[in-house]
Amino acid sequence: MILVIAEQQGGTLNKASWEAIAAAQQMGGPVTAAVLGADTGAPAAELAAADVAEVLRVEAPALTPYTLDGFVSALSQVVRAEQPGDVYLPHTYQTRDFAPALAVHLGRALVTDCVAARQADGRRLFVRPVFQGRLLADVACEGPALATFQIGAVRADSVVRGAAPAAVRTVAVTVDAGAIRQQPEDPFREAKQAVDLTQAERIVAVGRGIKDPDKVALARQLAAALGAELGASRPICDAGWLPMDRQIGSSGQTVAPKLYLALGISGAIQHLVGMKGARTIVAVNKDPEAPIFEVADYGVVGDLFEIVPAVIKELQG
Amino acid sequence: MHPTETWIFRILVLGFAAAFAAQVGTRARLIRRARNNLRVRDDETGRRLLRFITEVIFQSRTIAERPAVGLAHLGVYWGFAAFGIYTGVEFLAGLGIADFTGSRWFHLYAFALVPFSAAVILGITGLLIRRAIVRPAALGDRVSGESVLIGCFILTLMVTFLLAFRWEAGLAARVNWWVHAMVILGFLVLIPDSKHFHLVLSPLTVYLRAPILATVPNLDFEQEQVGLETVADVERKQVLDAFTCVECGRCQVNCPAHATGKPLNPKTLILRNEEALLAGELDRRLADVFDAKVLWQCTTCGACEAQCPVGVEHLPLIIGARRGLASNGEAPDALAAVYNHLERRGNIWGLGADLRQKFVQSAGVEIFDAARHEYLVWLGCAGSFEADFQKSLRSLFDILRAHRVTFGVLARERCTGDVAKRTGNEYQFQELARANIEDFTAAGVTTIVTSCPHCLRTMGVDYREFGFTAEVIHSAALVADLTRTTTVPGTGHVAFHDPCYLGRYAGVTEEPRDLLVRFGATVHEPDRHGANPFCCGAGGGLLFEEHEEGRRISQERLEQLERTGASTIVTACPFCSIMLKGAQASANTQVEFVDLISFVDGRMKGATASAPRP
């Protein structure tokens, strides 16, 4: 049996929990989901919609708000009582906080940041990226393990729903509030950037080569045609041609889109470190010596005012 | 003198001396309780004595930055020294201990003092006018009443001294004598609590100042040292510095952060330290005393420390306080990312070693072999990863090859730890330093050439503390030496931007200019150049902190360089190059940039290409 630890806050399930359940279901065996807190009625009922053997409500007053000691204590009791095989967790900030301690308490291996799990030759393997995502490693471990799943690696909508709601069982755990060393403060949310380029799949970025604030419209058209976000290097934002929250680089946002189109960006290192994680980099620049070509997968040496309109025409035609 | 007069004078001297001693006592206790960081090695004594003669006796630093003011001060200083015995003799007589005032030699001595008194009168009048009427910004927003009072005291002393020649006896003479004596006593009790305490301490602080600019000794982790967290942690030399500061503001006017409207003011740091010490706030966090924000605005350019005429060392205080913050995880976010990159990838940008390898291969450079190679060329983070700076290194390789110099590079490098050191992440610095030194030792390296002034400083000075002995030189010095007999005619007006870590820290100012001139350029100097350049804004980890309060330092420097009228700016440091090019891209001006070594290489190749073929 695979035990999936779902994550909830204030009664709302974290979407990544569904992804961990989907990963567990894909292994073909029975799956049990557990959710922790002082009151887990609502999230447990929600989880019961999935095709799982059982949903465990792990309840104790000291489990809300979240603390590392509280969770490790409660989950150690649950795992010892239920004796599951592997334990799956979404790779959230909260998991990152308690999972290592839990693994040590249980004497189990912990495989972090997995993108998949699969069976091969009668062994179950965890797949995780290494070398900054350049390679995927198959990790085999002896005995039941803990595994955390990268957010977005498994589609949440691939969760198999049950014909009828699964059984919900409350598991009594004792968590000694006095033994908890952490003193959580009120949660806060960092002021969200108006423009979040970090999640963009495609980005069209402009640099000093655009020359004129009016010409930014051209890049905007291309971005619209590509369904891309618009970004910029520092001089463009310094000059106020685009707002600061569109700046990409060491003092702006660090992005990793599938496609990064650099228009008239020379590629100063301060910019490169902010976009080097892009999967495919296409650069258009007049200067064949521009450092951007060192990192570009496709480089066009030429006038962006000729090239960009032609590309837009191609995309729209 | 009437016996009653003698008794009154004795009581007064006793009273004033007691007041003086009480004030000095407070400071002496604070100096004694501070951790002793005074390290004077025997082999440095000669250098320190020489400095004592030039900087204390001849006031070279006081004069260098402000010649007129410095000379005025020199007059007052020498006057004081010359008057020492005069005052002593007069006091012995006044106290009824021994009277030499009637002797022939004393009369001769008094006559000899007349020119000194003239020098003092001239000097102090000039300084008073400057302080009370001209009021330069360096001296602070408001006129220090105390300093004006002391100026008037000094003037009174000189006038009463001269009047004593006119009134040798009688009531006028007695009144004159008493005015003179009381002014001296009044001066005495004003000294400890004012900037005039430098009269007592500055000879000591100048002597004790580290021989090398910005010396910040390693932390000893065995002793559980974590840097300066509270006022109680401030070390002995820094306490002496706090009490000796003469508030002249040379540090302030030379500070690039202050010049661009940031709250950091090196003078204020020292004075805040003094205030906190005297107020007994030993448990107060330095981050609160100084305001943590300003501690991270320092580029470690060293201008403050290099200019200070009384031997104050600002950098051990700033970096010490940064260490205290970094040890508690309170470094700014931008640096947290850098530390992460250093930890994981061993370079400041967190880039993969494959990029460095690609460069080394494409440049056709061999891996260092002590048996075949004279020099190890150190690439540094910029040489390994920054495309622009790699062009400079390719030029260096070509020049070395053209002069049949053998060299190689290490198979792998880590950052020297410059950013970690300057930002107070001492643990990371020491880890990087030890690992690099191990590699150098294993490879049998004896001479290292680098084009990065920050690597130059870190390996050439900071690594010495680990017992590292290899010679470390900057490529500009090596290339200047290799090409010393070469002259290539040419044209072009250039401005050379001295990197702080090359010009100010390493004193390499002649070689770059020699190269530029011999290879046909006309060199234009911005106001701040040579050993006192204006920073580009990148040092001390600020390369990674692009959001600056006030104006950007790089923008200010770019404008200074552009004002020379030169069409090309020559750089010799990857950080300066990144900062100034960034500023230029934002300002969108026409000036061009070229790296010093690339300039030389280009001119050499141009000359070869145009030379008539045999």
**pLDDT tens digit string along A281-317?**
999 999 999 999 988 999 999 999 999 999 999 998 7
In angstroms, rounded to a whole number, what is the distance separating the alpha carbons of residues B214 and A254? 34
What pLDDT was estimated at residue A193?
61
User: A128 - beta bridge partners?
Assistant: A137
Mean of pLDDT values over A21-33: 95
Strand locations in chain A (E): 2-6, 8-9, 12-13, 31-37, 54-59, 87-90, 109-114, 116-120, 123-130, 135-140, 145-149, 167-172, 202-206, 229-232, 259-263, 280-285, 298-301
DSSP strand pairing (B522-524 vs B592-595):
unpaired
Question: Smallest Cβ distance to B582: which of A234, A267, A294?
Answer: A234
pLDDT value of residue B545: 85
Q: What angle do CA B47, B50, B54 make, to 5 degrees?
A: 135
The pLDDT value recorded for residue A134 is 77
- Does A234 contact B545 at a Cβ distance shorter than 8 Å? no
Three-state DSSP class for A51?
coil
Residues of A in contact with B382 (CB under 8 A): 269
Task: State how far residue B351 is from chain A, nearest Cα, in angstroms.
Answer: 8
Which domains does chain A carry? 2-179 (3.40.50.620), 197-316 (3.40.50.1220)
Better-scored residue on pLDDT, A192 or B445: B445
What residue ranges define each of the domains in chain B, with the CATH number in brackets?
A: 3-208 (1.20.950), 221-330 (1.10.1060.10), 335-481 (3.40.50), 487-610 (3.40.50)
Among A149-158, B515-524, B596-605, the range scoring the smallest mean pLDDT is A149-158
pTM score, whole prediction? 0.84
Q: Are strands B522-524 and B471-474 parallel, antiparallel or unpaired?
A: unpaired
CB B89 within 8 A of CB B83: no
Give the pLDDT of residue A20. Answer: 96
What residues of B are in contact with residue A273 (Cβ under 8 Å)?
A: 349-351
- Look-up: residue for tokens 């755990």? A173
Tell me the pLDDT tens digit for each residue of B364-423. 999 999 999 999 999 999 999 999 999 999 999 999 999 999 999 999 999 999 999 999
Do residues B425 and B339 make contact, with C-beta atoms less than 8 angstroms apart? yes
pLDDT tens digit sequence for B330-341:
999 889 989 999
d(CA B348, CA B328): 21
Q: What is the pLDDT of residues B213-271, one digit of tens each?
A: 999 999 999 999 999 999 999 999 999 999 999 999 999 999 999 999 999 999 999 99
Interface test with A, best of B333, B335, B338, B351 (most A CBs within 10 A): B351
Q: How many CB atoms lie within 10 A of CB A268?
A: 26
- Calculate how close chain A gets to B265, using CA atoms only, in Å: 25
d(CA B191, CA B153): 12
State yes or no: pLDDT of B358 exceeds 90: yes
What are B515-530's pLDDT values in tens digits?
Answer: 999 999 999 999 999 9
Put the strands of the sheet holding B493-496 in their side by side order: B522-524, B493-496, B568-571, B592-595
Contacts of A272 in chain B (CB under 8 A): 349
Q: What is the pLDDT of residue A288?
A: 94
B438-447 residue pLDDT tens = 999 999 999 9
Structure ipTM: 0.81
Q: Name the residue facing B349 among A251, A269, A294 (closest C-beta).
A: A269
pLDDT digits (tens, 9 = 90+) for B13-66: 999 999 999 999 999 999 999 999 998 888 999 999 999 999 999 999 999 989
The whole-number pLDDT of residue A126 equals 97
Share of chain B above pLDDT 70, in %: 99
Question: pLDDT per residue over B155-206, tens digit each?
Answer: 999 999 999 999 888 899 999 999 999 999 999 999 999 999 999 999 999 9
Determine the distance from the C-alpha atom of residue B599 to the mean position of all C-alpha atoms in its chain, rounded to a whole number. 30
* Contact residues on chain B for A207, CB-CB shorter than 8 A: 585
- pLDDT at res. A110: 97
Q: Do B581 and A270 touch (CB under 8 A)?
A: no
With an 8 Å Cβ cutoff, the interface of chain B facing chain A consists of 334, 337, 349-352, 382, 385-388, 544-547, 578, 581-582, 585-586, 588
Return the pLDDT at A34.
97
What does the pLDDT look like over A79-115, one tens digit per residue? Answer: 999 999 999 999 999 999 999 999 999 999 999 999 9
Q: Which candidate from A251, A266, A272 shows the least CB-CB separation from B546?
A: A251
Q: What is the pLDDT of residue B25?
A: 96
In degrees rounded to 5, what are phi and psi of residue B316? Answer: -60, -30
Confidence tier at B145 by pLDDT (50, 70, 90): confident
Please answer yes or no on whether A251 and B386 come within 8 Å at the CB atom.
no
Query: In terms of CA atoms, which chain B residue is nearest residue A251?
Result: B546
| A190 has a pLDDT exceeding 70 | no
**pLDDT computed for residue A75 by the predictor:** 97
Which pLDDT score is estimated for B80?
A: 87
Q: How far A152 CA sits from the closest chain B CA (Å)?
A: 24
Q: Chain A: nearest CA to B385, how far in angstroms?
A: 8
* Helix H or strand E encompassing B172: helix B171-190
pLDDT at B603 over 80: yes
The average confidence (pLDDT) of chain A is 93
Residue A143, classed as helix, strand or coil, is coil
